[in-house]
Chains A and B, each alone.
Chain A
Amino acid sequence: MNGEAMNILLVEDNMAHAELVKRSFEEHSLANKIQHVRDGEEALNYLFQREKYADAESYPLPHVVLLDLRLPRVDGLEVLKQIRMSEKTKKLPVVVLTTSAAETDAARAYEFHANSYLVKPLDFDQFSSLMKDLGFYWLAWNHFPWS
């Protein structure tokens, strides 16, 4: 664990789910900052610093992207594909966090080089535990290619 400020981009159209993720991270004091966007288009705008996210100071590139798959406007897999196509973001760790346990979704996500594929557990304790592990793994243990 280092003392660097950790940023997460949470791409989630369901407000309740976003709230749950945020609260779980808060509880375990895992992230310094969670940036929440509600659809795929906004996620891409953020990552490529377009429109209202043009200011790199205020909207820095996250350490990890938590990406839902079924998203309004631009689908989660399309977002992933574009992340991997851009030189700037292709090494960015992307963790898919979705309600879908469909094999095809997982397979396609890995095809587009998702770093991990997680299914939201129905059980609260499990959900809470997953969020904790997820946070520790990516923000504490994981070594990033650029630092």
Chain B
Amino acid sequence: MDMNENGAVLQSGFMPHGYCFSWNEPLLWMHVSADVLTGLAYFFIAAYLVFFILKKREEIPFNWVFILFGTFIFCCGLTHFMGAVTIFYPFYWEAGVLKTVNAAVSAATAIVLIPLLPRLLALPGLQKALNDNVNLSQQLQLKISALETEVNQRKQAEKLLKESESQLRSVVFNAPFPMMIHAEDHQVVMLNSAWEKVSGYTIEDIPTTHVWTEKAYGKRMALVEEDIKQLYALTESVYEGEYVVTTKQGEKKIWEFMSAPLGYSADGRRLVISMAMDITQRRDTEDKLQTITERMDSTNKISPAIISVANVTSGFFTECNQAVTNILGLSIEEFTSTPFIKLIHPDDRQRTNDEINKLKEGVDSISLQNRFLCKNGEYKWLGWQASRINGDDSIYAVATDISSIKKSEQQREQLISTLEGKNTEIENFTYTVSHDLKGPLISIQGFVGMLRKDAAAGNQRRVDEDVEQITMAVIAMNTLLNELLEFSRVGRLDNAYEEASMNVLIGEVIHLLAGSVPNKLKFDIQPQLPVLFVDRPRILALFQNLIENAVKFMGDQVEPFIEIQADSKGDVTIYSIKDNGIGIAEAYHDKVFGMFEHLDPGIEGTGMGLALAKRIVEMHGGRIWLESEGEGCGTTLFFTLAKKEEGE
């Protein structure tokens, strides 16, 4: 300050204005700062006006007025600057010049404005501009509020969008099948929970599709990457097919992939969503089913048993295997196109239906045996096992060919009945033998006792009678024993079969019986009787017995005759010996063939003759029977012999 004081005073001889303030600093600086600030403000205002007119608003009328105003304000500014300077430096001359210029400019402006004022007031646009301004601001207000509404709406939409986006994310995340969103730069954008759960990998494990393919596909990685690469060019969803992926746990899973384009990410990358269906279990089941089906097919093919499905309502087999052809000779087509009841033997149909009805009524399974028609018209025994197929009117039925079992069953039954017959025969034999042998013994014992008494009494007539009785009993017993022996030999001690002419045999018998045959008896023997292949001695005994019987039971026939014939009927030859003797009442036609049976107690004989004949015929596989119109009408004896070829 000191420098200022001294220098300024020395230069002009005037005192700086500061002296007026006694160099009171606060007062001094207040004046200085106010003057400088005002000056600066005037400069700026002037500059605005000039700039506004010259640069921006050339169309404004009376622009020179604005320049004038600018100059005027600029000069005002200069005077204020000068005011600040004069506080320190006493440039009062220069300050006076400036004030004068300022006054001139101000006065000029004021003078200029006087004539200009009415013209300015007459400017038409001003009010309008003011009005326009109001309108505009109203419109602006409307626009702004519209804009605000729009902004709000946008915000709302954005909010909704965000909400729906988060819903979508949640849907994707919680979807029950694996999903991955990935970008074209290989980044994995998102993995859902199913993906993590099934594969075992989290997004941290597989940040990129590279890592994923490497981990999940191993060596096949390159191929899969190629497939993935093509996905980004997609415009619509695509089915990719099945891939075998390896999980984090090392399990192999079969995934069926579908991918779809998902637009662009915020940073402009193309996105793809890939969805997978884990079909491992399904494939596994399919494989098992396939195996089971194949096994069943081959079982059906090789099974010796019929395996079938039958519909019990329609009455048809709907399915069956090759075994029907093997067993019945019917083709599968024939078997399934014929109502099954027609294939069953008429005698077995009712029984079969009854069993099927049991299934219909809820019984789980049945087994039965019936006869099925074969292609060749014969019937075969089948043993069935059948069970219901739930919720269907079909049954599952399996059958085996039990013909041979049935046959051996029949053979066994036949054998049993033969054996039973034999047993009965033996029982009868024992019974008869014991009974009939006891008879003569009782006689002998009895008459020996009588003999003693009669001898003691000296009754010679009675003694002779007793002896005669004893003798007769002994003879009877001897005959009986001989015949029993003969009987037991038949079938036990057989001779070799040989050819024997029936005519020759009969000739021999007649020769043997010559003594006991009455002369008047006529034989009528068919001249060309067959040659037999038989146990010759037994057949000789047979003819002897039969001819003897015919002679014995001739009665008092005046013209007795015996007629011998052979009559071929088909395979069977029936031999007959007919007489016109006393005949046999029908009631005894069977009884006479029993052991020790004799119808007439008055005629000699043990009753063994026809029993022996029957035994011989049966040993030759034949049958013997008789026909007689009754007593007095004669008797015809018939018998057959089984054909037995030489060498058998």
Which residues of A approach B to under 8 Å, CB–CB? Answer: 13-14, 16-17, 19-20, 23, 38-39, 70, 72-73, 98-100, 102, 120-125, 127-128
Contacts and interface: CB of A to CB of B under 8 A. Distances in A.
Interface in B400-441: 431-432, 434-436, 438-441
Nearest to A12: B601
A46 B598 CA distance: 20
A12 to B, nearest CB: 9
Nearest to A73: B599
A126 to B, nearest CB: 9
Given A38-B601, A70-B596, A73-B588, A20 B439 contact: no
B224 interface: no
A110 to B, nearest CB: 18
A102 B431 contact: yes
B435 A70 contact: yes
A99 B443 contact: no
A101 to B, nearest CB: 8
A122 B435 CA distance: 12
Given A17-B439, A120-B442, A123-B445, 9 more contacts: A16-B472, A20-B450, A72-B601, A73-B588, A73-B599, A98-B435, A100-B431, A124-B448, A127-B442
A25 B596 CA distance: 29
Contacts of B607: 72
Contact of A127 (B431, B434, B446): B446
B600 interface: yes
B352 interface: no
Interface residues of B, number: 29
Contacts of B450: 20, 23, 124
Q: Give the interface SS of chain B, mostly helix, strand, loop or mixed.
A: helix
B597 interface: yes
A104 B564 CA distance: 42
A17 B442 contact: yes
B442 A72 contact: no
22 contacts: A14-B439, A14-B443, A16-B443, A16-B469, A17-B439, A17-B443, A19-B469, A20-B443, A20-B447, A70-B435, A70-B436, A72-B600, A99-B438, A99-B439, A100-B431, A100-B434, A102-B431, A120-B438, A122-B438, A122-B445, A124-B448, A127-B449
Interface in B190-208: none
B541 interface: no
Q: Which residue of B442, B443, B607 has the most chain A CB atoms within 10 A of its CB atom?
A: B442
Contacts of A124: 445-446, 448-450
A72 B446 contact: no
A121 B439 CA distance: 10
B473 interface: yes
Contacts of B431: 100, 102
Contacts of A122: 438, 441-442, 445
A107 B441 CA distance: 25
Please give me the 5 A-B residue pairs with the lowest Cβ-Cβ distance, nearest first: A124-B449, A16-B443, A38-B601, A20-B446, A99-B438
A63 to B, nearest CB: 24
Contacts of B441: 122
Nearest to A37: B601
A125 B452 CA distance: 12
A120 B438 CA distance: 9
Contacts of B442: 16-17, 20, 99, 120-122, 127
A50 to B, nearest CB: 15
B610 to A, nearest CB: 13
Interface in B590-632: 596-602, 607
B473 to A, nearest CB: 6
A72 B449 contact: no
B446 A16 contact: yes
Contacts of A102: 431, 434-435
B303 to A, nearest CB: 54
Contacts of A39: 601
Q: Which of B435, B446, B599 lies at the interface centre, i.e. has the most chain A CB atoms within 10 A of its CB?
A: B446
B600 to A, nearest CB: 7
B449 A125 contact: yes
A16 B438 CA distance: 12
Interface in B515-558: none
Nearest to B446: A20
A57 to B, nearest CB: 26
B474 to A, nearest CB: 11
A102 B436 CA distance: 13
B623 to A, nearest CB: 24
A13 B407 CA distance: 48
A81 to B, nearest CB: 15
Given A23-B450, A102-B431, A125-B449, A72 B443 contact: no
